Amino acid sequence: MQVRNTTARWGSVAQFLHWLIVALIITQVILALSAEQLHGMAKLAMLARHKSVGITILMLALVRLAWRLINPTPPLPLTLKPYERFLANFTHAALYVLIFALPITGWIMSSARGFPVSWFSLFQLPDLVTKNRPLYEAMQETHEALAWTLGAVALLHLLGALKHHFVLKDTVLRRMLPFSKIP
Amino acid sequence: MIRRFGLLRPLAALAMLLTAGAVAAGGAAAPSYALDPGKSTLAFAFVQAGGHNQGRFPKFAVNFSFADDNLAASHLEVTVDIAALDSGDKERDDTLREADLFNVAKFPQARFTAAQITKTGAGAYRQDAHQAARLRRRSGRLEIHRMGGQ
């Protein structure tokens, strides 16, 4: 498999970034739900992991967007109906927006609460805003709403991929799978 | 106050404004000083999971006798109401008060006492001190810098 994308399939870098971010988003859900069950030091430690993984996703999102912009994008099949084409473009755009918006709202939320964000205790990131309780509360609600939105859009994305593979029987799913053969 | 516990590594700094009080009866050579609470701060800093945080102990009492020419009779004792700590976040304050950290239910106060003050330079002194907080006793040194004219 090629490193760079071709018009027929995603290259290894794009695939690696896609699947790594999938794994990290699932990790984030687990860490966030675990933190809700805890309190005190254990909760702070779990949230620190959640924030570190979130910053990792933000950095990967930047790399991913840059990589997409300097690579060819495998086009959607020409046989798609207009609504399918719209849904595909909409979900992809929304997913890109969300992998930036979730970490950034989380970071603002932390800063507004007065809890600094560090990346795995290796370095501390600057506060994005000064301490501001109403802003913290607004960001917490936004972060949670965006998380649910990401869940819904990711589900749509998954259903779309399955429809391409099992109903439309095209290569759209396989071209993002590392070990698949594309004729 | 220097404590190390798990992910929390607090350090404290004390800035006091003291005014000379009456010399104790009996001719003690080191006059006692009274704390001006409104102009004094006992701050602490701690690192939690890589994030640097600060807080204050708003309630503390100081017993300070000092004479430059009689350091043997000079003495500093600071008593801190640990339960009153303020890191600027109620949930975090409650965490700091819990049993695995300051354990304020059992140890509501910390006391910093010292016997020997050593002069280390012009207007600078060092106090060999020990601090009793929670179960452990710690030895430490406090650097004292004299500011102002009196």
Using one digit for the tens of pLDDT, what is the confidence trace for B89-123? 999 999 999 888 888 888 888 888 776 777 777 76
Other C-beta atoms closer than 10 Å to the C-beta of A101 total 18
Q: Would you say B97 and B83 are in contact if contact means Cβ atoms under 8 Å apart?
A: yes
Compare all CA atoms of chain A with the CA of B55 and give the residue at the minimum distance: A114
Mean pLDDT computed over A35-45: 92
Tell me what pLDDT residue B144 has: 66
Domains of chain B, each with CATH number or no CATH: 11-145 (2.40.128.110)
**Triad A33, A35, A40: Cα angle to 5°:** 160
| pLDDT tens by residue, A117-154 | 999 999 999 999 999 999 999 999 999 999 999 999 99
B66 touches B74 (CB < 8 A): yes
Q: Any idea which architecture A12-176 has in CATH?
A: Up-down Bundle (1.20)
| 3-class DSSP assignment, residue A11 | coil
Distance from CA of A182 to the nearest CA of B (A): 46
B100 in contact with chain A, both atoms CB, cutoff 8 A: yes
Residue spans of the domains in chain A: they are 12-176
Are the beta carbons of B52 and A45 separated by less than 8 Å?
A: no
Measured between beta carbons, the chain A residues lying within 8 angstroms of B95 are 39-41, 43-44
Distance CA A158, CA B87 (A): 44
Q: Which of A104-108, B58-62, B146-150 has the highest mean pLDDT?
A: A104-108
Residue in this structure with the two tokens 């993984």, named with its chain if needed:
A53
State the Cα–Cα distance between residues A46 and A5, nearest whole angstrom: 37
ipTM of the complex model: 0.78
3-state secondary structure B22-77: CCCCCCCCCCEEEECHHHCEEEEEEEECCEEEEEECCCEEEEEECCCCCHHHCEEE
- CA angle, residues A29, A35, A40, in degrees to nearest 5: 165
- B124 forms bridges with which residues in the sheet? B121, B145
Q: Which of A172-181, B2-11, B65-74, B90-99 has the lowest mean pLDDT?
A: B2-11
Interface check B16 vs A, CB under 8 A: no
Is the predicted pLDDT of residue B139 greater than 90, yes or no? no
State how far the alpha carbon of B39 is from the alpha carbons of A16, B24, B112, in Å: 58, 24, 20
